[in-house]
Chain A
């Protein structure tokens, strides 16, 4: 069993310093790794990123993160990623990392993702250059997620994004804004790349539970959705200690 803790949209800043730290005190009792599903800051500034770095530094389990749209707002996402990395947080964007655990290994592939909408109700790379750029960005990001999942050499794989791959976990959000909340191309990448679990944030009014068309479990861990410091998912059947399904 691999115990995965996850939270997104913590939106930290100077005014929220130390907000999560008390609840992370006993993290080791609950989980083997912690995933951060983007929107770690509010305005995407380095000052806020410093608060995030301190909040999640020196934890007893590995911490793997993607950035969200808020973390891009001040146009310094690379610097934010660098700062978090200095504090021992692995920041993914189109790549993956394998976490070695006692008798198990789990790979995490991460991208921020982007919008575009969902199959049959989405934008196309057609017409104005702005529209083409919008849709192509999602296509590129989804392609990187698929490749990153594909390259993971571990029995268990997790897809970590900020934007949603499915509409299930958007229930509660107005239908009109679905195209800004995610893209089915992410789900397609998750199904083709072969993930055991997909974790995302971004949809503050959404729902926790969903599934991709290919049957991969999707969890929206945006903090306003989960209403606690983090959620824990126990992934069974990937560490050799239990019978693998035939």
Chain B
């Protein structure tokens, strides 16, 4: 994938993360800085986190992927909000 126009490249990667059945993620941000691509957001499992790197790497092997996506927490809430 050509990275000459970073805006288009980032948009293409965002679209790929949405449309690739492995990821189907609309909630991940793609930031392109030179030869580096940063992924930010939260997904539901470790496997999905790994798939993000996979999809981006396949499409843009020339880029270094920094997967900063977290796996969403699932603990019981410790407090409640009072609504009067």
A residues near B (Cβ < 8 Å) are 3, 9-13, 15-16, 19-20, 22-23, 25-26, 30, 42-43, 70, 73, 196-197, 204-205, 217, 223-224, 226-237
Interchain CB contact under 8 A, B83 and A236: yes
Please classify how large the interface on chain B is, using the bins under 10, 10 to 19, 20 to 34, 35 or more. Answer: 20 to 34
List the 6 closest pairs (A to B, CB-CB), nearest first. Answer: A204-B27, A232-B80, A224-B42, A23-B76, A16-B45, A15-B47
A236 to B80, CA, bound (A): 12
A19 to B75, CA, bound (A): 10
Interchain CB contact under 8 A, A228 and B48: no
Q: Main SS of chain B's interface residues? A: loop
Q: In the assembled complex, which residues on chain A have CB atoms less than 8 Å from the CB atom of B81?
A: 231-234
B residues near A (Cβ < 8 Å) are 21, 24, 26-27, 29, 41-45, 47-48, 72-77, 79-84
Of A9, A70, A229, A237, the residue contacting B24 (CB under 8 A) is A70
Report the nearest A residue to B76, measured CB to CB.
A23
Interchain CB contact under 8 A, A73 and B24: yes
Known interface pairs A25-B76, A30-B76, A226-B77; 19 further A-B residue pairs with C-beta atoms within 8 A, sorted by A's residue number: A12-B44, A16-B44, A23-B75, A23-B76, A30-B80, A73-B24, A197-B83, A205-B41, A227-B72, A227-B73, A228-B76, A232-B79, A233-B81, A234-B80, A234-B82, A234-B83, A235-B83, A236-B82, A236-B83
Interchain CB contact under 8 A, A232 and B44: no
